[in-house]
């Protein structure tokens, strides 16, 4: 599917974040988590938020999900003001869990079965297809405890996607997985995205993961978070992990890391080391 088709696709799912601020009132002080934050999550595209730890990424996901309301500004989904959670937005957290007493397939069909949103035979057919896409066909009748951590995450993805939400909101869903499992998950998510025309807003603190996924990379400032830069990622699709070795990839990474570094430590004031030395040192670590 090319970019044009994804943008023009008939599905809903465009999010506008306009001048949003969120302050939390404490007993003695107020924490401003995000401030004057504006960006668009384009329909059918993969938007990734990166930024230093504590800059307000989870807050933004909670606001878009409708779990919380902005103190200032507004969030619109396909033009309508977001005031509450809704079935059009599905959130996948790191700690999302399968029902331990249900098999993989029962977990995946649970939502639509309870909501009666599709005829039963359609639900089963679709669940089978999704399990196939995430490589779990042979594990459909196993219980969560019989699956590896990575398989559980894949089953969770299938369970989320069967509901066909207009928007998928993902807050560091792969954090804490070992490197091999994480790469597998990345490949599955790319496959699901590239075959589905769905809008995704994804939060990560891992810059390689961010660039691998993103059509649009949004770099947030240090706390309180606002948009520091928007970097269109002009690598082709389908994306593959071997794109990490491309020159364009390295350029994009350098651009993003330079900004993230500035945000992490303030401006390059000391002048002791060159910017590229610092960026190189910083690349070896996670940015969040
Ligand atoms: P990130 O996900 O980028 O690490 P968060 O959105 O979790 O950042 O947090 C942004 C800031 O808002 C932090 O300073 C955090 O302590 C504060 N914060 C988040 N949620 C709450 C809350 N419910 N009450 C008070 N402060 C909060
Ligand atoms: Mg967070």
Query: What pLDDT sits at residue 95?
Result: 64
Please report, for the chain, the start and end positions of each structural domain, with discontinuous segments joined by +: 3-88+165-283
Ligand 1 proximal residues by C-beta, below 6 Å? 24, 31, 33, 51, 53-59, 223
Residue 222: closest CA among 267, 255, 252: 267
Lookup: tokens for 60: 């933004």
Q: What is the Å distance from ligand 1's center to 57 Cα?
A: 8
pLDDT tens, position by position, 104-141: 999 999 988 988 878 999 999 999 999 998 889 999 99
Check: CATH 3.40.50.300 for 3-88+165-283? yes
Residue owning the nearest CA to atom 18 of ligand 1: 33
Give me ligand 1 centre to Cα 203, in Å: 14
Q: What separation in Å is there between the alpha carbon of 56 and the centre of ligand 1?
A: 6
Ligand closest to 94 (CA) is 2
Q: What is the mean pLDDT of the chain?
A: 87
Cβ–Cβ < 8 Å for 211, 51: no
For the full predicted model, state whether its pTM sits above 0.75: yes
Q: Which amino acid residue places its CA nearest to atom 15 of ligand 1? A: 54
* Average pLDDT for 186-215: 92
Closest C-alpha among 50, 52, 37, 55 to residue 219:
50
Nearest CA, atom 7, ligand 1: 58
pLDDT for position 96: 64
Tell me how long the chain is: 288
């Amino acid at each position: 599917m090319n970019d044009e088709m994804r943008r023009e696709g008939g599905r809903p799912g465009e999010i506008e974040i306009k001048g949003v601020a969120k302050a939390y009132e404490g007993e003695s002080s107020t924490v401003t988590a995000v401030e004057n934050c504006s960006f668009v999550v384009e329909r059918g595209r993969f938007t990734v938020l990166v930024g230093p730890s504590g800059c307000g990424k989870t807050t933004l996901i909670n606001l878009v999900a409708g779990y919380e309301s902005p103190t200032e500004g507004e969030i619109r989904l396909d033009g309508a003001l977001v005031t509450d959670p809704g079935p059009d937005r599905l959130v996948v957290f790191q700690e999302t869990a399968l029902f331990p007493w249900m098999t993989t397939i029962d977990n995946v069909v649970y939502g639509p079965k309870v909501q009666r949103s599709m005829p039963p035979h359609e639900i089963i057919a679709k669940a089978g297809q999704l399990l196939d896409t995430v490589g779990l066909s042979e594990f459909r009748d196993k219980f969560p405890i019989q699956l590896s951590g990575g398989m559980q995450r894949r089953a969770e993805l299938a369970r989320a996607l069967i509901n066909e939400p207009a928007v998928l909101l993902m807050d560091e869903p792969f954090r804490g997985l070992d490197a091999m499992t994480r790469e597998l998950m990345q490949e599955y998510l790319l496959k699901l995205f590239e075959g589905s025309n769905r809008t995704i807003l994804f939060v990560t603190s891992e810059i390689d993961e961010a660039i691998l996924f993103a059509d649009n990379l949004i770099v947030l400032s240090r706390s309180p978070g606002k948009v520091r830069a928007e970097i269109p990622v002009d690598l082709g699709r389908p994306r593959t992990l071997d794109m990490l070795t491309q020159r364009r990839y390295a350029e994009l990474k350098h651009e993003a890391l330079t900004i993230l570094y500035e945000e992490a430590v303030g401006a390059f004031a000391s002048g002791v080391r060159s910017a590229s030395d610092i960026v190189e040192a910083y690349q070896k670590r996670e940015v969040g």
